[in-house]
Structure 1
Amino acid sequence: MTRPPLTNMQTRDVEALLHPYTNPATLRAEGPFIVSRAEGLHVFDAEGRRYLEGMSGLWCCGLGFGDAELIETAREQLGRLPYYHLFAGRSHEPAIELAERIKELAPGAARVFYQSSGSEANETQIKLVWYFNNARGKPQKKKIISRAKAYHGVTIVSASLTGLPYNHRDFDLPVDRILHTATPHAWRGAEPGEDERAYAARLARELDALIEREGPDTVAAFIAEPVMGAGGVIVPPEGYFEEISAVLARHDVLLIADEVICGFGRTGQWFGHQTLGFKPNAISMAKQLTAGYAPLSAVAIDAEMAAAVEDNASRIGVFGHGFTYGGHPLGCAVGAKALEIYQRRDIPGHVRRIAPLFQARLRALADHPLVGEARGLGLLGALELAPDKSGRAAFEPAGKVGARMAAELQARGVILRAMGDVIGFCPPMIIDEDGIEELFAPIPDALDATLAWARAEGLMR
């Protein structure tokens, strides 16, 4: 695949920007992919070529691109109240309306607190957990358990929660008080003959042993994505959260659901924890909270946490946490409209109706020799590329085959994300049968081309 010379816009970009999650050397050689506009399921590059955006941007544009209602809501809000804050008892209608809508949709939510990103939401979660345990007289109960391959953000503590090595290397992370337990990936982790239930029970025993080893009086919370996103769209084994929740309850350990990717219909219910059958004490949300149209995140906590936090803040005299843009009126107005649209158009119902076709097309690719596992839930999916189907082998070096596959797909008009050698799927939730056909039609050819390249490179027989 030969590369054309860099355009003027690409050269300007390389000289001006430091790109997240990008190899700078590759960027200098190949230039950035410039997106000029978007509409519906599609984005268009600077030369006008059209691509189906199979990742909803970064897991967030659940209503696709160019939704007229969201655009008009943003325009009206900017004309009415372009900025205000929630400090010192100030408030505004969009913040109140959105919090009420979140409480309506999230069972058990008692209070809502706003930030601008999922990273900030999870950073806030940990501060609230520490504050909560101080408030109830348990100052030693501060350790947080996350999982290998989890993704919870990039701020100092949220990046420590993230269980991906490149988020830690040379950033002096993770910080202390952060622990990691096993990734719940049966294809990779289950023993021969061990079914999903038995595997889930074993993971719960390992978690229990970790808590006992650390001391239950020192462990405060367990944080989990219902379906792990950036770690490879990993769907937990049957019974996993049932087993895990019992361990946490026994040790008085809070359960935080990171719903930044799964929330607001992506799995066919309002939240992923509803689809997977567990009850968290707190929920982090972002991305589809505003359908990606404005930066906003939120944390929802249950009544016990809310009462302890508010009582403690009253004793101190102030709740000493907050962000300049937390509860920004633009984000809140767009978020309230997005949630209203999700309800009015029954987006979770649409996901439940269309997901069987999406999952069938995804799993039909499992027999290809380059695909180790095809997996997914709702409108989330992944193809794990591997040298065989055993679940024990991986490409060396990691990431080259996935990157090639993503490039082959982009050349065929489909944008998906390579996470190492896993190809992730997260199309806008408005996708229909024709969109699913457009998404999957070029994939077999792209797999064949990638397989031929991998064999030529000596990466696979």
Structure 2
Amino acid sequence: MNAINDKQTLSTRDIQALDSAHFLHPFTDFKDLAARGARVITRGEGIYVWDSEGDKMLDAMSGLWCVNVGYGRKELADAAYQQMMTLPFYNSFFQTTNVPAVKLAARLAALAPKVGERSFEHVFYSSSGSESNDSNVRMVRRYWDLLGQPRRKVIIGRMNAYHGSTMAGASLGGMTGMHAQGDLPIPNITHIEQPYFFEKGLPGETADEFGFRAARWLEEKILAVGPERVAAFIGEPVQGAGGVIIPPATYWPEIQRIVDKYGILLISDEVICAFGRVGHWFAYEKFGYKPDLVTFAKGVTSGYIPLGGVMVGNRVAEVLIEKGGEFNHGYTYSGHPVACAVALANLDLMEREQLPQRVKGELGAYFARRYAELNEHPLVGLAETCGFMAGLVLVKNKQTRERFGSDATLVGMVCRGHCFRNGLIMRAVDDRMIIAPPLVMTTSDIDEMMRLIRLALDLTHKDLKEKGLL
């Protein structure tokens, strides 16, 4: 296609052709996408987005777990514009700083719940969750070096967890498809099983009993590696990209007991779960544990502009500051003034509209009640929520909980297709269907979302019967 200018009006096919010719998408089969053509999203308002053909879709995934305040919030656009006209960029190297970055760091420190020696007074900025988790690896290993324990390099993660797609982030995560490309994980990163009761629970075992057993897989791994070599454990409060895997209530307190017993650091990856998603500013408060480092991104700006970082607990920060000298790590956009200004406006908006409190209170309870009704559907083995995150398992036999086995991915994509064709964005993770809707939803929005989900399930049930999969 010939060169274009920004004033040309392009058809959907024109945009798709340019997309195929020039844009390599993340987590995409490039050849397959070129054959089918990408869906072109052109605008958003509230909880809805529209594509280039004029189709309206309820975005039950908040973009990618991030548009917490919904689309079209003028306050955030104004904050970006004002900061761009004042100071669009300056770096944080060479003993310089900027006002929005300082204000945001202080604001985040004030929002983070206090947990004794693991209180949070310091922030290390990045532009994404992936970069933030790379920073965690650097800080954790530097911490132990400074304490005279350089053998403590091993970081333990979980299978089916997602911590980003950089070399370190993908290694910390436990997704085998990612590890199969690029010789991952990198050295000194290992994994334990995920706390997925529906799949891993034993006959007759309660969820609480399973929670204790799943947490103790960490202790077994620490002993296998050698406690003197283990630096940290990293986990998402609720596993997001893995399918909204919600751990039993006993899991995180037992994890806390184990990391305390062996003196290792605890990293809470809250890229998805922070900023109201589970009804708290930070999810570790909900689940009752005390991390040393908290990864954040996504909801800090509601996805309006890239920003990420690490909340660094006092236990770690004091060692890095008092004993560390120069920390040879950072990014061009660490503390970007425009991103930080948008984050401040986003937090103002969330506080003014009490979005975390609404998710924790009556609105979240209403969502949980409505979503639980899906447990009655013949295709659903389990439907569960945590704040404004939810997942359900598609099963072949509801009574026996028989799964679809090798057809799991196909079944999930059939359901996803019915969602999209009927104006709903819902994500498929094999046989799990997941959502993370905007926090600005009303009860009537929830009712409409549930109507669309049930419609998609009904159509999927009919489709699978016709395909002979039920």
Matches within 5 A, 1:273-312: 273-312=284-323
Partner of residue 49 from structure 1, selected from 44, 51, 55: 55
Matched, 1:93 2:92: no
RMSD over aligned CA atoms reads: 1.4
Partner of residue 456 from structure 2, selected from 429, 446, 450: 446
Does the 8 Å contact 1:188/1:392 carry over to 2? no
Unpaired runs of 5+ in structure 1? none
Matches of 1:388 and 1:156, distance apart in 2: 40
Structure 2 residue identity aligned to 1:234: I
Q: CA deviation at 1:188?
A: 0.9
Structure 2 residue identity aligned to 1:432: T
The CA deviation string for residues 28-77 of structure 1, in whole angstroms up to 9 with x for no partner, is: 23211100111111111102221111100000000000111111101101
Tell me the residue number matched to 2:247. 236
Tell me the residue number matched to 1:77. 83
Partner of residue 19 from structure 1, selected from 11, 18, 25: 25
Structure 2 residue identity aligned to 1:272: A
Partner of residue 63 from structure 1, selected from 65, 69, 83: 69
Structure 1 residue identity aligned to 2:42: S
Matches of 2:407 and 2:265, distance apart in 1: 38
Matched, 1:370 2:379: yes
Matches within 5 A, 1:389-408: 389=398, 390=400, 393-408=403-418
Q: CA deviation at 1:392?
A: 6.0
Tell me the residue number matched to 1:435. 445
Partner of residue 140 from structure 1, selected from 151, 156, 159: 151
Does the 8 Å contact 1:64/1:428 carry over to 2? yes
Matched, 1:33 2:33: no
Tell me the residue number matched to 1:103. 109
Tell me the residue number matched to 2:123. 112
Does the 8 Å contact 1:6/1:31 carry over to 2? no
Matches within 5 A, 1:325-340: 325-340=333-348
Structure 2 residue identity aligned to 1:35: I
Does the 8 Å contact 1:184/1:236 carry over to 2? yes
Matches of 1:319 and 1:147, distance apart in 2: 28
Matched, 1:341 2:352: no
Matches of 1:122 and 1:392, distance apart in 2: 37
Q: Percent identity?
A: 38
Question: Aligned to 1:144, what secondary structure does the other structure show?
Answer: strand
Matches of 2:126 and 2:306, distance apart in 1: 9
Matched, 1:272 2:283: yes
Does the 8 Å contact 2:394/2:403 carry over to 1? no
Matches of 2:171 and 2:332, distance apart in 1: 24
Tell me the residue number matched to 2:137. 126
Matches of 1:397 and 1:405, distance apart in 2: 12
Moved more, 201-210 or 41-50: 201-210
Tell me the residue number matched to 2:200. 189
Structure 2 residue identity aligned to 1:393: R
Matches of 2:21 and 2:296, distance apart in 1: 34
Does the 8 Å contact 2:395/2:402 carry over to 1? no
Q: CA deviation at 1:344?
A: 2.0
Matches of 2:424 and 2:407, distance apart in 1: 25
The CA deviation string for residues 296-336 of structure 1, in whole angstroms up to 9 with x for no partner, is: 0010111121111122332xxx2211100111111000011
Tell me the residue number matched to 1:200. 211
Q: CA deviation at 1:206?
A: 2.2
Structure 2 residue identity aligned to 1:113: F
Does the 8 Å contact 2:12/2:40 carry over to 1? no
Matches of 2:224 and 2:148, distance apart in 1: 22
Question: Aligned to 1:424, what secondary structure does the other structure show?
Answer: strand
Q: How many residues align?
A: 453
Unpaired runs of 5+ in structure 2? 1-10, 114-118
Tell me the residue number matched to 1:409. 419
Matches of 2:29 and 2:416, distance apart in 1: 15
Tell me the residue number matched to 2:237. 226
Q: CA deviation at 1:420?
A: 2.0
Structure 1 residue identity aligned to 2:40: I
The CA deviation string for residues 181-226 of structure 1, in whole angstroms up to 9 with x for no partner, is: 1110111111011112211121233221111111000011011111
Q: TM-score, normalised by structure 2?
A: 0.94
Partner of residue 358 from structure 1, selected from 345, 353, 367: 367
Structure 2 residue identity aligned to 1:416: M
Does the 8 Å contact 2:89/2:338 carry over to 1? yes
Does the 8 Å contact 1:234/1:375 carry over to 2? no
